[in-house]
Amino acid sequence: MHEPIPVRSRFFQSVSAYFDRAADLTSFPAGLLDQVKSCNSVYRMKFPVKDDEGNIVVIEAYRAQHSHHRLPCKGGIRFSAHVTQEETVALAALMTYKCALVGLPFGGAKGSVRIDPRACSPGFRERITRRYTAELIKKNFIGPAMDVPAPDYGTGEQEMAWIADTYRAMKFNEPDLYACVTGKPLDLHGIPGRREATGLGVSLGIKECLDREEDMAELGLTPGIAGKRVIIQGLGNVGSYAAHFLQKAGASIVGIAELGGGIYNPAGIDLRHATRHFRENGSLADFGTGEFQEDPARTLEMPCDLLVPAALEGQITAANAARLQARIVAEAANGPVDDEGEAILLKRGILIIPDLYLNAGGVTVSYFEWLKNLSHVSFDRMSTRISEDAKTKIMDSVEQLTGRRLDPAQRAIVTAGPHEIDIVHSALAETMAVAYHSIHDAWKTRDLPDLRTAAFYVAIDRVCRSYQAHGIFP
């Protein structure tokens, strides 16, 4: 009897299988497809850092640059005790295809540091982050024109601030140095909307999918988010914001699964109170409403219209795919459904909205932040006042023609120009809408088997054409 493949090995295997399935449907030369699939470079490093007691701890870390078809490379940095080089390469590959799919001028990359961030003091975590950054600088694995990291699982604005500060200290003559990393705090040249970007993008992507009346009819669902029963796995940054925006659009959050257990209530869960309870207690036990289940995997199997796994990879496999009762699985995390689990879901007629598309909101807004850092000006500074002046002239004309004047409060609302966050959210919504249209069009017009294959097909086509435009391949 064969031993089961470890989850993280299955993740790498799944990404490769998804690529091969879509690549076989294209007409590009085998050598070109091999280049697109291959990881260009991986930097595996070990470096010493003193812990809080002054002892030397050797830290293992990675940075993978999957594709140089466009530069800079782009991808987050993950802090986890379970990261491997194989997982990092798989995540970098997904970033290549993801950026191509949503039209961003980046190659894919990913970084990882093998630590448990929850077990580290802030000081120890800072020393690790700064030393990791220094190692990347030495090997030219970071820089505004070469490789631009961002937050990922186990990291956030604070780590990105330490990276930016370390880069500034070592590269102080560079004019665009703050473009070396995205996901920074607002006070350190970040951008409004980056914190919620991935979760908001998830909700926008789900909206695009659910608005297709013919697709929903095949699933026995009515179009639109309103009234849909949703189960969320993970109350981290992505899951909490995705749940918030879905609930705001009219969905009912009926289940939440987290470390240590899950809750399910077909009548709906108060998301704000559940989130606060989890953050204060580290568990959803004793929340007070709904059925608590010690095994969070059971929560995923409860009745719902939409299941949103927003935690880690390998959550839906051959072991549990047959028991899911959702009609749609929306992959907010990277690789939550492996290839064996996917085959079961597709056979059962369950629609999968792939991670390759659905969680692209984070890198999309990171792109906006990178552009802002390169141009050294916020997006609203150049447009807000001229927009307000134009709206004011229109309102003056309307009031003269109608003889009716708005009160000052109404007039201020109508003539207000956009703030930077309005521009960011609008551009993100446009990006998700255009990308879904390209996937859906490929799915239907080319008679592809599913949305994931269509997403990979579109991404592979764009990366291959980029290589051909460089004259590298015929």
Which of 208, 288, 458 is CA-nearest to residue 356? 458
| Both structure tokens of 379 | 């997006």
Q: Let me know: does 43 contact 53? Beta carbons within 8 Å.
A: no
C-alpha distances in Å from residue 436, one per residue of 115, 152, 157, 236, 286: 36, 23, 29, 25, 40
Find the catalytic residue in 37, 74, 98, 110.
Answer: 110
Rounded-to-integer distance, Cα 100 and Cα 19, Å: 14
ω before 151 within 30° of 0 (cis)?
Answer: no
What tokens does 278 get? 């989890």
Is 110 among the catalytic positions?
yes
The rounded distance, in Å, linking the Cα atoms of 331 and 310 is 7
- Which region, left, alpha or beta, applies to residue 234 given φ > 0 means left and ψ of -120 to 50 means alpha? left
CA distance 335 to 7: 10
Per the DSSP assignment, residues forming a β-bridge with 233 are: 257, 309
* Distance from C-alpha of 6 to C-alpha of 416, rounded to nearest angstrom: 54
**Angle (nearest 5°) at CA 260 between 255 and 261:** 25
- Catalytic residue annotation: 110
